Chains A and B, each alone.
Chain A
């Protein structure tokens, strides 16, 4: 809970050089490295609607423009709309004389309308008639520019097709010069166009005609005149839509609130995440949209020793202050931990020496092509230059394995010494010293870097690989501000 509501006082360095709290880091069990959202591969698993929890295959989702067909968002505040029922009394016309029809008319019919519980917008506000069925049946609006958009789509598809064909032709020419052999298509006279016909692809003629018949749009100088009273009429801001409201419906961009229509709800995706270096899954959600569990969930929180700050003395320039830390072993195996200075962490061999700029990594991360070069580029050494230095004692600490039953007995064992404050099942409290440089100015942020060396047991190691490993984690502690 503290991770959700409080600032991140303790941050870990990812293998890509980003510094993040442990809750947003992953741990690849195959590379034995910490990974983060920046340096892993995100893949869309399935599309679903967050409101009605309906699953949708990606092809259908694309067809429906990634929107749910039965759920709507409020066009005024973007909250999900709810369906409300009313009993509508059918209108009675006074001319109706016979008693039978009167009895029939008195039967109230259930009618449904959409309503927002947040801003109290209802579908009646814009004159959408109530519907006799609870879901669906809401009038669909046609995009005024639908034909033009389809034209453009066809045109660009044709251009893409043509460019692909040209590239193919060029490639074949190159090949023909080099190769001595006649390809099958050359020998049988089977041309590319015919091959496409057989395969059912659009023929080059149709692409040609699509390109030829395309009419580019033209800018016009004729602009509709503003109405006479445009500058004098008093503006009622309640009748005008806000910018977010207009942009939520890009096809119509209504300027008046009377033209706000329900927005079909956008679909959400379930995604799985993959390590870029070894292609193993780091997280994989369960397929069912109603489930929030994971089939694979390699989070750093379950594998890397967790460090929390208990308390610290105010940091003063040129002085040492006490720092109390809590170490937790989240794994099911006993863990040996040593505290190191960040410089003492050995470089892994595949880590390149030269420092990489973040801009370059970012640029690469946007590139979809998967290659190892990418990975080498994003891999950087974390910049953990800190104002303070934790005095690291040369001891090996043993953390017991996690034991959920031990939660219930609360007698902390006091094998306390200079460093160990207390010990309780898989947790350990440490008393350390932080020294702050004399040159550090007052009121600057006090940060201390620390490295952990820990023994990690891989519970499902690959064949011929050792079970136990010595791993490192570098972390940055936020210790408030330097007091003057």
Chain B
């Protein structure tokens, strides 16, 4: 770990203002950032601690949704009765992530902004375009079992590892921020994370100093909510494939469906065509396969992760079957 200065922000505006200084990082739960600092993958010269900011509330919004403060702990969010009742997909996604101890520390903002688990990204002696632009991608020709099959670029094939963000993507959440000048904005979660493209080191739409203040959820859409996470052990493992589904169906017919995927892509993944194909369709194998085709259109494995394509197909099929069961 490199030496750094530490500042505890007293107000949100001051936090954002302090963070424009190059080399500054916000620290929330620290469960990702500290690990990266120990390995010198991240080498901030200043940490701004946001844990004491008044961002730890979950509030009802006037339109019947929820506003989740950026420092609400993952375990508190998962246990909130409103979340459990109306946003079961989010509660389940959260509880499927990490371990109880980590969830007690991890925050909403930190979870959204956690970095990839690509092995080579964590190892500063290896080439990695995300860590060191232009150095190459060790995963491309290397061991890439946990890597993405969608939304990749020739420079980076890493996944976004969050479970929470996948559920939020299905829920059409908005990420609220405040920038260094004190200006607030709301970014749809679909746009919040960026494709790696030519700049895998730039992962979100945030500008320097811009702080995530909250995530808002619109009122829950109708239908059954499911979060299905497929992983290598029963707990405490990142998703190989995960599906967040909200499906409104009755009498063998699907009215509407929302499907978001984790473990598959460079960012929480959602494909409009897949959902359009399902809307109004009868709940049968043909419709499910059609949706899978749309989701996996353009999917490409890199060797060790080839299995993710059939696995995603099978998992989606299982989830849709369950969601539409009378």
Asked if A and B are interacting partners, one says no
Q: Which residues of A contact B (CB under 8 A)?
A: none
